[in-house]
Structure 1
């Protein structure tokens, strides 16, 4: 052990005497480059020159932007080394004792993050490729033949009818955009653009048609089942669509529905007694109450004192609506309801089931079977409204017995 320690100490003393020194320059003060990731110093490098910032405010601002130091305080001792300038920006000294100077308006452009190279300038339109020689008649016929043979492989232009059919596949069948892109032979971004375009177009076209029906027409087409509630103008109910949960806890609390135990979007639907959609609200956060959505949806401006609405028990809107309300009775602390209230509740429930049937028709669009992703929130109101409006065109009556025989 002693022998090993003695040899180790002797070796250490021999190596400790060896010193390594950088070659110093003759300058008394050292200058350092202020550019990030640059460790150049005049103390150990006599080949580089170090330049102060220009006095011109505009050129100085360009220097700060170029070296990526916006909030940087420039002092008289702040330097930028010559390795960050192009060769044409630096003037060599005329004598051996002279200093290198920069041309007027020179800005540093070579850095560590661009590998000390400048991006190549973009060629002009006519410099990018050689112009083909003029074609003869034989060449033109061959070119037309090749274009007809391979036009399908190069590009695919969809007709408006095909685009609309693609949109209906997306809405009714719930087809994925990647699947539609493969089926129609187009890019997935094209599918997304077509869906957005057609949803906005149908939302504008179908939304321009007035769907609210006056009282006279409703009474003229009133089904016989509503004879005891002949003044009913609209049956109201809410529907909820499952959506992706946002990452923000605040948004999660606003979107969470206690009824569905999930983040949802909630909308108010109105149905005429004969089964036509007469009112569609926009979608709200799932935590909104039935009373609040009735207040904000705009349905109150359409109701008049001579009308009547039919709602569920959760719609406590007696202080909001200016008309009569048909609603199932409450127990209100009693052990049971009276016979009259039971019969009335059963009658209203049999008639209110029609709005449930309409909501089921809307949700037969397979697009609403899965969670609505957050990326579609900018277009979900259009998709939902179009799906509701299409039920007035693509389906028969809610009850087959209500269909009138042609005269």
Structure 2
């Protein structure tokens, strides 16, 4: 194969094909002799091609070609017509490359000094100097002398190579901002993801990882919409990060509240890519976690009822509202809708429901901050889940007795009286001690620092998904709300 000569002619055409083999610069633009072949459809044969051309983790496209220089002549089917197309035999694999001198069995050549010492036979005339130069192959490479190493030395060298490889991998991980960099520190995992330990995080990842293979990415959806509407062609950009690192990026954004520009610098990707990753994972987790039923039946709630609720055994859910500060709109009409008189700021408002043992069992969508607690409870949809034999526990601001079909445990009002009775004081204190745990649950949600700052109006399109995901993640990220409530 090394002795082949290739005639270089200019081929007229709209596009040129190039060989994907490393160190091969063959192009169809100036070569009419070499043919170019696509990768086989058979996966096993395609893997052999990738292995032989030394292109690990290689992304194959319909335009990827391997030229005929890398195949043996027996593997090629010459065309019968002069203008026909050269084909490959089934199962043919490229084996001829520059690193093996375009030969499958290159002979071992002797060194120049060894050839010089060899004298011609006595019965033959010496070869003229000019012919010696003509027969010499100047493209050949001298074979290095064999090094005599003992088995122990070879084993020591192998161990040293393995150690150096591990050091390179560790340095690469330390340099990159990724999940693997913080895997050994539970404190860092807690800071960046709000999961208690790395093992908790990986257990959650194993739950969602199978579904992530069917994730619909924002980039692909937009590309499909563009093609269907305008007929434009184009491929969506590929993934810049591994799926688990994309999930880690989303959790850092949610838990630490880093801006998209900051995340782009940390993960060494473009800011628009960060935006697409956040939106994609917000929709994905909203769909996956939202498909799990979190509202519990009365029997399940009773089975996990802490003894502290023994005076209120029919309590189904403890509810409260929370508000997230948002950027002030420029429109005066919108300002009046989202302005909260309680917070004296523009806010989004949502309702959270907690089971007596501390799990999130209900959360509403976010509404404008001007909505009242009573109206929010009506529109949230929780009323349809309550039964007459249930009870809810709420703050004294929830005057919803006429809205729900069940009993309401609520601290007592003075009702223009000078003081409450002793029984009312005891009941108020008892309810307050139990109801305060829903405040602790809301604080866990707001430990995601994205909601602890003023939310920009630019993300209002996905704020409901982000808020819902943060509420649902609370059930996975933390231990029991009260350690004494944990059951063995």
| Fold match by TM threshold 0.5 | yes
Question: Whole-Å Cα distance in 2 between the matches of residues 317 and 132 of structure 1?
Answer: 73
Q: Are 1:230 and 2:285 an aligned pair?
A: no
**Mapping 1:3-402, distance limit 5 Å:** 131=16, 138-139=23-24, 157-402=240-485
* Structure 1 residue 138: Cα displacement: 3.9
Cα shift readout 1:188-244 (whole Å, capped 9, x = no counterpart): 000000000000000000000000000001111100000000000000100000000
Structure 1 segments, 4+ long, off by >2 Å, are 130-141, 144-148
Question: Whole-Å Cα distance in 1 between the matches of residues 452 and 330 of structure 2?
Answer: 22
- Cα separation, partners in 2 of 1:135 and 1:168, compared to 1, 3 Å: closer
Q: Secondary structure at the match of 1:270?
A: strand
Question: Whole-Å Cα distance in 1 between the matches of residues 257 and 272 of structure 2?
Answer: 17
Contact 2:444 2:474 in 1 (8 A): yes
Question: Whole-Å Cα distance in 2 between the matches of residues 251 and 178 of structure 1?
Answer: 28
Question: Whole-Å Cα distance in 2 between the matches of residues 276 and 136 of structure 1?
Answer: 57
Contact 2:19 2:25 in 1 (8 A): no
Contact 2:386 2:405 in 1 (8 A): yes
Contact 2:326 2:456 in 1 (8 A): yes
Which residue in 2 is equivalent to 1:106? none
Cα shift readout 1:275-295 (whole Å, capped 9, x = no counterpart): 000001000000000000011
Q: Secondary structure at the match of 1:239?
A: strand
Question: Whole-Å Cα distance in 2 between the matches of residues 169 and 243 of structure 1?
Answer: 20
| Structure 1: gaps spanning 5 or more residues | 1-125
Equivalent residues, number: 272
Say which one has the larger Rg: 1
Question: Whole-Å Cα distance in 2 between the matches of residues 380 and 133 of structure 1?
Answer: 47
Question: Whole-Å Cα distance in 2 between the matches of residues 387 and 177 of structure 1?
Answer: 18
- Cα separation, partners in 2 of 1:164 and 1:133, compared to 1, 3 Å: closer
Contact 1:156 1:186 in 2 (8 A): no
Cα shift readout 1:24-75 (whole Å, capped 9, x = no counterpart): xxxxxxxxxxxxxxxxxxxxxxxxxxxxxxxxxxxxxxxxxxxxxxxxxxxx
Contact 2:337 2:370 in 1 (8 A): yes
Contact 2:18 2:25 in 1 (8 A): no
Q: Secondary structure at the match of 2:419?
A: coil
Q: Secondary structure at the match of 1:228?
A: coil
* Structure 1 residue 136: Cα displacement: 8.3
* Structure 1 residue 157: Cα displacement: 2.1
Which residue in 1 is equivalent to 2:92? none
